[in-house]
């Protein structure tokens, strides 16, 4: 009888430990996915490269100041539907693996999600990346608006190409960046 009681208590302890291990494993995986939230890149600091921290994750953000094209692809606000497939010129101010900041003279209400296709070139490589506009800074200069973009639907190859291009740009500008690590594991979109 005592053997059965001890065995059942051991089984309960083992089940508890297995459940706890599973919970910890899931939390670790969810924290990894959190690194793909938009980064705070909209400061007025005009240094060439800056380190951005968001939930203990580091992203290399490079100021580039390059022309780009923005094509409007999806809107949740039906009033913006006439803008679908419209292309506007903008200036890519800075960029990271998680997103970018652009400046344009086109003003948009961003109360609801707006999705765009961002087309630009860096280091003789052409990129066409999908993004959501997540932030707007009203008129920084006369008729200029800053928008923060978060990349979405980024394939592993696009992410790797962007990562290596940003590292090359950073190295070319003579910037020091310690501890840059990027997890190139597949992501769930």
Residues 84, 141: one domain? yes
Domain that holds residue 5: 1-34
Give the tens place of pLDDT for each residue, 27-67: 766 665 544 443 333 333 333 333 333 333 356 788 888 99
CATH number at residue 89: 2.40.10.220
Confidence class for position 79, pLDDT limits 50, 70, 90: confident
Overall number of domains in the chain: 2
Question: Could you say which DSSP state residue 44 is in?
Answer: S
Q: How far apart, in whole angstroms, are the C-alpha atoms of residue 146 and residue 71?
A: 16
Residues 158, 120: one domain? yes
Residues 9, 96: one domain? no
Residues 127, 100: one domain? yes
Residues 26, 64: one domain? no
Which run of H or of E encompasses 134? strand 125-141
Residues 6 or more apart whose CB falls under 8 angstroms from that of 118 comprise 68, 69, 70, 92, 100, 102, 127, 128, 129, 130, 131, 149
Residue identified by tokens 């053997």 is 3
Residues 53, 29: one domain? no
Residues 66, 129: one domain? yes
In a domain, 130, yes or no: yes
Bridge partners, 115 (sequence order): 74, 132
**Threshold 0.75, pTM exceeds:** no
Residues 29, 53: one domain? no
Residues 89, 5: one domain? no
| Distances from the Cα of 124 to the Cα of 31, 76, 127, 188, angstroms | 34, 35, 10, 29
Give the tens place of pLDDT for each residue, 87-133: 999 999 999 999 999 999 888 888 888 999 999 999 889 999 999 99
Q: How far apart, in whole angstroms, are the C-alpha atoms of residue 173 and residue 121?
A: 17
């Amino acid at each position: 009888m005592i053997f059965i009681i001890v065995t059942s208590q051991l089984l309960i302890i083992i089940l508890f430990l297995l459940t706890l291990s599973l919970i910890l494993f899931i939390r670790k995986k969810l924290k990894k996915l959190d690194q793909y939230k938009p980064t705070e890149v909209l400061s007025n600091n005009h240094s060439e490269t800056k380190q951005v921290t968001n939930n203990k994750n580091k992203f290399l953000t490079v100021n580039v100041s390059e022309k780009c094209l923005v094509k409007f692809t999806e809107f949740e606000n039906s009033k913006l539907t006439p803008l679908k497939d419209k292309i506007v010129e903008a200036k890519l101010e800075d960029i990271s693996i998680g997103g970018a900041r652009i400046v344009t003279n086109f003003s948009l209400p961003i109360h609801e999600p707006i999705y765009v296709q961002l087309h630009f070139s860096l280091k003789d490589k052409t990129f066409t990346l999908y993004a959501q506009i997540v932030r707007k800074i009203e008129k920084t200069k006369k008729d200029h608006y800053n928008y923060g973009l978060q990349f979405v639907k980024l394939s592993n190859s696009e992410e790797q190409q962007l990562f290596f291009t940003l590292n090359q740009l950073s190295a070319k500008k003579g910037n020091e960046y310690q501890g840059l690590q990027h997890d190139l594991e597949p992501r769930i979109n």
